[in-house]
Amino acid sequence: MEGFFDNVATIIEQARTYVGRTADLTMCITYYEIGRMIFEQEQKGKARAEYGHGLMRNLSDFLTKRFGQGFSHSTLKNARKFYQIYAPTVQQLPLADLEDKKSQTVSDDFEKNNFSSKGQTMFAQSYPFRLGWSHYLILMRIEKAEERRFYEIEAVNQRWTFRQLQRQYGSSLYERLALSRNKTEVMRLANEGQTLEKPHDVLKNPLVLEFLGMDEKAEYSESDLETAIISKLQTFLLELGKGFLFEARQKRFSFDEKSFFVDLVFYNRLLQCYVIIDLKTGEMKHQDLGQMLMYVNYFDRYVKAEHEKPTIGILLCKEKDDSIVQLTLPENSNIYASAYKLYLPDKNLLHQKLVEWTQEFEENQHTRNKTIVDPLKNKSDQCT
């Protein structure tokens, strides 16, 4: 009898595990299929807008009476939009990719957990959804497909919660990363998400610290800023990006009988190097860059192990001056100045900057190509 009780308990435990793992997938599949049916039914309505509105209103009333809340007119509109955006992905996803995904079909989970799935239903199909419905509600707001893909890849790989995805999108993470890269790397953002292969990849333009809750106009010291960052360290690590581990604040080291203190010390396990940050709330000066150069040299010579990569130094300042950075630091110094903001940036303004930057890059490329071609043409003309 005890064995029987254990078997029953095992079934219940498996069911609870299954429900927790597949609830989000089930909801996404359900809304996707509802959206598909609405879309296909609307095509029979001779593309009349009033037909589509009436259809969803009537369907919402019917489903609400039968199942209760959860099927409002706005929810059905979202379901239709969800289908329209992701239908090409569902239809074109290679079988090999689907086999590599975990929990891609509900019926697969039934089989793995000794459940029986009778009949062929929509859940016997394969779907590429790997996030919760609340995540997709945010992703569907993003009009540009490449930007949407970036956030989807990062949310999956970094296991962002709904709130974290909401914050990263609201802080214009895609635009800030893109503005710190060349056009080729911007295309990689859309296809691979954020990749860390070289020191410059850790930069964002600017770093957004709105979560500190500090007033932009108020007077505050570098110590106040450092304390605020430490109090919100988990969120600050999210803003820094992939692979960061916190080591110390006010890291003390001595050299030539003098003591020095580095504001914040991190380690990036992906780049395999130390990342040291110095905070500046006032105007950036060349002396600040010289001090950071000394810090980086000390870490490279006395702290890092032989197998580790060179230390990265970041001067985090309220306003950066690129001309001072270029004039003060030697090339390939591994030291960068990065501006920070205590409020969420204007997404439209950043988007416009990205558009202008892209156009300028393309114009420069065109001019460079023309410069290469024209001399050859002129030389040929002279010969004739």
* pLDDT for position 299: 96
In a domain, 238, yes or no: yes
In a domain, 130, yes or no: no
Please, what sign has the CA dihedral across residues 310, 315, 320, 323?
negative
In a domain, 214, yes or no: yes
Q: Specify the residue for token string 């891609």.
A: 104
Instruction: Kindly state whether residues 16 and 113 are assigned to the same domain.
Output: yes
Instruction: Kindly state whether residues 15 and 115 are assigned to the same domain.
Output: yes
* pLDDT for position 311: 97
In a domain, 375, yes or no: no
Contact 136, 82 (CB under 8 A): yes
Closest CA to 151 of 120, 176, 118: 176
* pLDDT for position 382: 46
In a domain, 356, yes or no: no
Global pTM reads 0.74
Give the Cα separation of 311 and 295 in Å (integer): 9
Closest CA to 206 of 107, 356, 338: 338
pLDDT band at 84 (very low <50, low <70, confident <90, very high): very high
Report, as an integer, the average pLDDT of 27-31.
89
Domain that includes residue 292, residue range = 207-344
* pLDDT for position 223: 94
What's the CATH code of the domain at 292? 3.40.1350.10
Please, what sign has the CA dihedral across residues 357, 358, 359, 364?
positive
What's at 216, amino acid-wise? Answer: E
Instruction: Kindly state whether residues 97 and 220 are assigned to the same domain.
Output: no
Lowest mean pLDDT among 50-59, 109-118, 159-168, 300-309: 109-118
Percent of the chain exceeding pLDDT 90 equals 45
- Helix pair angle (183-192, 145-157), 10° resolution: 60
In a domain, 131, yes or no: no
Instruction: Kindly state whether residues 224 and 318 are assigned to the same domain.
Output: yes
* pLDDT for position 96: 43
Instruction: Report the number of distinct structural domains present in the chain.
Output: 2
pLDDT band at 332 (very low <50, low <70, confident <90, very high): confident
Closest CA to 238 of 185, 181, 186, 163: 163
pLDDT band at 256 (very low <50, low <70, confident <90, very high): confident
Instruction: Kindly state whether residues 115 and 242 are assigned to the same domain.
Output: no
- Which residue has better confidence, 102 or 40? 40
Give the Cα separation of 149 and 153 in Å (integer): 6
Q: Which own/partner contact pairs does 301-305 have at CB distance under 8 Å and 24+ positions apart?
A: 302/253, 303/253, 303/274, 304/273, 304/274
Closest CA to 314 of 254, 239, 232: 239
* pLDDT for position 50: 61
- 24 contacts: CB under 8 Å, gap ≥ 6: 129, 131, 132, 133
Highest mean pLDDT among 12-21, 300-309, 347-356: 300-309
Contact 209, 224 (CB under 8 A): no
Which tokens sit at 96? Answer: 């090999």
pLDDT in tens, 212-223: 999 887 789 999
Q: Which of 344, 361, 379 is the last residue of a domain?
A: 344
pLDDT band at 380 (very low <50, low <70, confident <90, very high): very low
Give the Cα separation of 90 and 334 in Å (integer): 43
Closest CA to 131 of 107, 156, 158: 156
In a domain, 16, yes or no: yes
* pLDDT for position 123: 56
Instruction: Kindly state whether residues 224 and 115 are assigned to the same domain.
Output: no
Q: Which of 99, 125, 151 is the last residue of a domain?
A: 125
Q: Which of 344, 359, 379 is the last residue of a domain?
A: 344
In a domain, 371, yes or no: no
Give the Cα separation of 160 and 102 in Å (integer): 17
Instruction: Kindly state whether residues 119 and 242 are assigned to the same domain.
Output: no
* pLDDT for position 353: 81
Lowest mean pLDDT among 21-25, 270-274, 304-308, 346-350: 21-25
